[in-house]
Amino acid sequence: MDKKGVEAVALSIRSLSMDAIQKANSGHPGLPLGAAEAAAVLYGEVMKHNPADSKWADRDRFVLSAGHGSMLLYSILHLAGYKVSMDDIKNFRQVGSKCPGHPEFGDTDGVECTGGPLGQGVSMAVGMAVAEQMLAAKFNTPKHTIVDHYTYSLVGEGCLQEGVASEACSFAGNQKLGKLIVFYDENKISIDGCTDITFTDDIAKRYESYGWQVLKGDMYDVAGIVKLVEKAKKDKDHPSLIMLKSIIGFGAPKEGTADVHGAPLGAEGIIAAKKKLGLPEDKEFYVVPEAYKYFEAKKAEFAKAEADWKADFDAWAKENPELKKEWDAFHSDAVTDPSVKDVEYKPGDACATRDASGKALNVIAARYANLVGGSADLMGPNKTAFKNTDNGTFSPSNRKGRTIEYGIREFAMSAIAAGISLHGGLRPFCATFLVFADYLRGSLRVVSLMKQPVIYVFTHDSIYVGEDGPTHQPIETLTGLRAIPGVQVIRAGDPEESMEAWNMAYASKDHPVCMAFTRQALAVYEKADKNWKKNMAEKGAYVVLEGSANPDITVLASGSEVNMALDAAKLVSGKTIRVVSVPDLKKFEGLSKADRAAIIGNAKRIVCTEAGISMEWLQFTDKENCFCLDNFGTSGPAKKVAEYFNFTPEKLAELLKK
């Protein structure tokens, strides 16, 4: 190891970080000053990567979970040779910069995920480690190991306090993800002061109880860090937590205190820090020449690692043409079995849309072999079991399993699914009851920010959950999901729409899709619009019951309320009633006024109905014409609950008669 080169890189990380944060007058210098050695060692001595090709499939992944310390990552990416220029560094935290305040996936070359909210980055790293194991089991052969890489993450005190990290790390230990290595920047400082004021956990014992290997060292012993990584790699059955004692804001006048966590050092502080660290005080954005030289000397080594892999990959592809076809399909979401047909229904057939979703899931799983996923301990109620297409459950003894048992960890489930998606090669879904979407909402927002096509299956979508009562009966949840930019929400009205919802979800490539399904049976209805599938996908709504071109009333309904509207229409005489199914309200409301009018018709009156709050529907009509539920549910048999709230076809018919 070139120890002097690594130390020059660490010193340059400190130099660039403090100056960029000072120039922006905003940022968090504590972590990059305190943990520079970890980044220098990882990118220089440990990781298998090639800065000339940041998307190399078999690269090691690094996730900065403590994303507030983003200048650590931008600095090392610049020094290592990724497409992060000095001008980018100088433009830190400015609009349009490749170096935003927290790392953002898609903005910066070499950034593997959006790691802003603490705890989510390491949770996504767990997902990346899962994907590596799944793909290795699928594609490696006795002669060729084409998937063989590690996932690294750097966490701080905040990440380890967030519940999502605990959920994900517990899952990782249970799954024995031995190729996941996490560095803990152990400086014992957070924004409000020493972590002892709130956080006195024995981290080593906690992670040992999760099933992790725990190693300890010194952040400033670069040779020691390399040895700790080597030891971590020898343990194939346990993820590793490497606890590195550090000093937040190392070298700054207020090092070791909360004051250096999240504010620029100030002009005098910069001068004092540079003097203490041995940096030229009169030069901004200074890079120690040996740092550039160090990585320049590494270029050939980095390129050779990828070239060797490509040679092995080409030999593997030649010897395994069918596997190569699957590899290409897995990495492009292409069909692997075009003979698989959609589930077909006829009018009058009835089942819960969660059951229809389960059948549709198995169609998609047979058609696309890269679909993987599972539920938060609700496989039976969510109807997410693979049938005839499964390789069993993913486990330490069966890495080929397509079913993932997430346990009761909704937040981590979503973040892990995001990591699987970010890794590439697999298409993940996850599932729970709709009301528990609130537990994973923080992750869903980040998934949407990253434009990742994770599929979410939510069942038990309304008061018709029944006996479990108001805590399990989602009222405002659909509106909350629709409020997140970029999230597509589909609430299927019958079994046919459920099949089409899955087709739509899998067709999405740049956004998450949330599907909501019922516990109660719904009948398949005749559809007046013979192009309903196309219009459901492209317009979010279509005409189920024509009524007339100039109906007295058009009823806009979603999910189970389409059947309710059809039943109510039969009870009304003397009026022409059009019923429109709106499975994708966001898409429908985004149409032009003319396109919406073509679906609604020249109606004298519009009535909207959904077993949820009326907020979104008020854009189409007034409060008096919203047949919705603006209150929490109650416990009882589903039919009795609906009657208690006057949420029945008969009561809707009374509204239509007015």
Catalytically active residues are: 410
Neighbouring-strand partners of residue 193: 190
List, in sequence order, the alpha helices (H) in 450-573.
477-482, 495-507, 532-539, 560-570
List, in sequence order, the alpha helices (H) in 235-383.
267-277, 289-319, 321-330, 353-367, 379-382
User: Kind of pairing, strands 371-375 and 427-433?
Assistant: parallel
Q: CA quadruple 178, 182, 188, 192: dihedral positive or negative?
A: negative
Strand order from edge to edge, sheet including 240-245: 61-64, 151-155, 180-186, 240-245, 213-218
Neighbours of 196 (CB within 10 A): 9
Residue 55's contacts (CB-CB under 8 Å, 6 or more residues apart) are none
The closest of 442, 438, 449 to 415, measured between CA atoms, is 442
CA distance linking residue 12 with residue 288, whole number of Å: 6
Polymer length in residues for the chain = 658
Per-residue tokens: 3: 């120890």
CA distance linking residue 621 with residue 652, whole number of Å: 15
CA distance linking residue 616 with residue 633, whole number of Å: 19
CA distance linking residue 21 with residue 12, whole number of Å: 14
Neighbours of 452 (CB within 10 A): 24
CA distance linking residue 217 with residue 313, whole number of Å: 37
Strand residues in 548-594 grouped as ranges (E): 553-557, 577-581
Per-residue tokens: 365: 């799983």
| SS3 assignment, position 542 | strand
| SS3 assignment, position 5 | helix
| SS3 assignment, position 421 | helix
